[in-house]
């Protein structure tokens, strides 16, 4: 069994599908593969010692393993940001335990800080790679009342899940592709957009997720039996959104890392809010 497959199986056992805290393992692998295509040579060399034998995608999937470790309970709120439809993310009341934007900001600063030991910066890289992916999943910038879609049960054909898991992993797995093949398929979506996407800040990425809500919640009314059955057109439209968000996450992750390690001074690239 290959390294990525072993990791996916392990994470599937650790993270129950009804409480998925982040993009599924395949999503993080895909983001890593997309990012890898946009790294400069200096970045590849700089992050290799921090990743060890793992790929960037595997590094990004690591944070989900912490869910089963009581010593990392404080990390659970870092995967998401709950906010109302009309509330401003920039002017939000900061949660004392942190959220996905504060986590990106904090760990990105640690990654830049060469006075820190390599273990701390390696951990920071894992978190940055993970949370950049998470903030691009629309339901990780979710409504408090339904816990980012976790409380909304849905059906696709004969399959039962909830709205959050649908967007985390179901839509990706429905493609039936290995993560590398998936990344190669969607990679061209970045053509002509790389510079603009990398010029944006994490606050913008979170706002984009919030603004996708009208499409995320456009699933219609329950059937007579109360089941919320998703149409094929909803599934297809949602898959298109997820593909674009995965590519954006990969391109932007590469941009963050290149801003530190390419032949330029480290960028002051905080969460911007």
Give the pLDDT score at 190.
Answer: 98
Give the pLDDT score at 235.
Answer: 97
Residue 41: count of CB within 10 angstroms of its CB: 10
Distance, in Å, from the CA atom of 144 to the CA atom of 10, rounded to the nearest integer, reads 29
Give the pLDDT score at 223.
Answer: 82
| Those residues with Cβ within 8 angstroms of residue 39's Cβ, 6 or more apart along the chain or in another chain | 47, 254, 257, 258
Give the pLDDT score at 264.
Answer: 52
As assigned by CATH, the class of the 3-261 domain is mainly alpha
Give the pLDDT score at 11.
Answer: 32
Give the pLDDT score at 73.
Answer: 78
Give the pLDDT score at 221.
Answer: 85
| Those residues with Cβ within 8 angstroms of residue 12's Cβ, 6 or more apart along the chain or in another chain | 24, 25
Give the pLDDT score at 22.
Answer: 57
Closest by Cα among 97, 79, 70 to 24? 79
What are 159's strand-pairing partners?
A: 156
The answer to whether 247 and 34 are in contact (CB under 8 A) is: yes
Instruction: Provide the residue ranges of all domains of the chain, joining segments of one domain with +.
Output: 3-261
The answer to whether 29 and 4 are in contact (CB under 8 A) is: yes
**Structure-token match 């709205």, residue found:** 163
- Percent of the chain at pLDDT > 70 equals 88
Report yes or no on whether pTM surpasses 0.85: yes
Q: For the chain, which ranges sit under pLDDT 50?
A: 1-21, 265-273
- Dihedral sign from CA coordinates of 77, 78, 84, 90: positive
């Amino acid at each position: 069994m290959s390294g990525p497959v072993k990791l996916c199986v392990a994470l599937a056992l650790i993270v129950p599908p009804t409480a998925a805290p982040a993009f599924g393992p395949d999503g993080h692998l895909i983001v890593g593969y997309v990012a890898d295509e946009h790294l400069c040579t200096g970045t590849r060399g700089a992050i290799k010692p921090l990743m060890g034998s793992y790929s960037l995608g595997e590094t990004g999937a690591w944070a989900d393993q912490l869910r089963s470790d009581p010593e990392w309970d404080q990390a659970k709120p870092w995967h998401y940001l709950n906010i109302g439809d009309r509330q401003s993310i920039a002017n939000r009341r900061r949660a004392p335990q942190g959220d996905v934007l504060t986590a990106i900001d904090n760990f990105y600063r640690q990654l830049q800080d060469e006075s820190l030991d390599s273990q701390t910066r390696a951990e920071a890289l894992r978190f940055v790679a993970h949370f950049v992916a998470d903030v691009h999943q629309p339901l990780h910038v979710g409504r408090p009342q339904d816990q980012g879609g976790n409380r909304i049960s849905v059906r696709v054909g004969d399959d039962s899940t909830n709205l959050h898991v649908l967007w985390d992993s179901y839509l990706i797995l429905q493609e039936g592709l290995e993560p590398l093949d998936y990344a190669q398929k969607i990679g061209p979506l970045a053509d002509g957009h790389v510079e603009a996407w990398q010029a944006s800040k994490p606050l913008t990425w979170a706002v984009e997720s919030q603004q996708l809500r009208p499409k995320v919640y456009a699933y219609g009314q329950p059937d007579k039996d109360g089941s919320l059955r998703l149409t094929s057109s909803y599934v297809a439209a949602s898959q298109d959104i997820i593909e674009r968000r995965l590519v954006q996450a990969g391109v932007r992750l590469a941009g963050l890392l290149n801003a530190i390690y390419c032949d330029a001074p480290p960028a002051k690239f905080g969460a911007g809010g």
